[in-house]
Amino acid sequence: MKLEGKVFKDGKFWLSEVPILDLMTQGTSKSDAIDMMASAIKDLAEERKGLKISIESTEGQTFVLGTNNPDKLISLILKRQREKEGLSIADVVNRLGFSSRNAYARYETSKVKLSMNKFLELYQTITKKDVILKAQ
């Protein structure tokens, strides 16, 4: 699984952003901004034992995040988006029509392997936005 990030100059600083993880960092150079993003993601990944993230700089204003464990990255995305939206697990459970908080919590802790369709359903329920996927 790979995610795309953006890096761009804003005034005298460079900003790096990964919207699906609700993360933005800044640096004094393009490479510094990307390094700061790598550090921020590493800090997030520490709470998910076994999750490793790699960042590949690309031409232009993008970079690519890769992972050794897509399931753990997906669970992190769901949690970050739920928190961004200001929702509790109970709120998401109500939106989904689940009868158990534990059923949904298992997705956020990567105890259940998600199909892409299920991930999209959960993501769209949380954010009320469509996800655009690019084939690589």
pLDDT at site 133:
60
Q: What percent of the chain has pLDDT over 90?
A: 60
Mean pLDDT across the stretch 92-121?
91
Mean pLDDT across the stretch 113-136?
82
Helices (H), 18-115: 30-45, 70-84, 89-96, 101-108
Task: Report how far residue 18's alpha carbon sits from residue 7's, in angstroms, rounded to the nearest whole number.
Answer: 9
Does the pLDDT at position 12 exceed 70? yes
Mean pLDDT across the stretch 122-128?
92
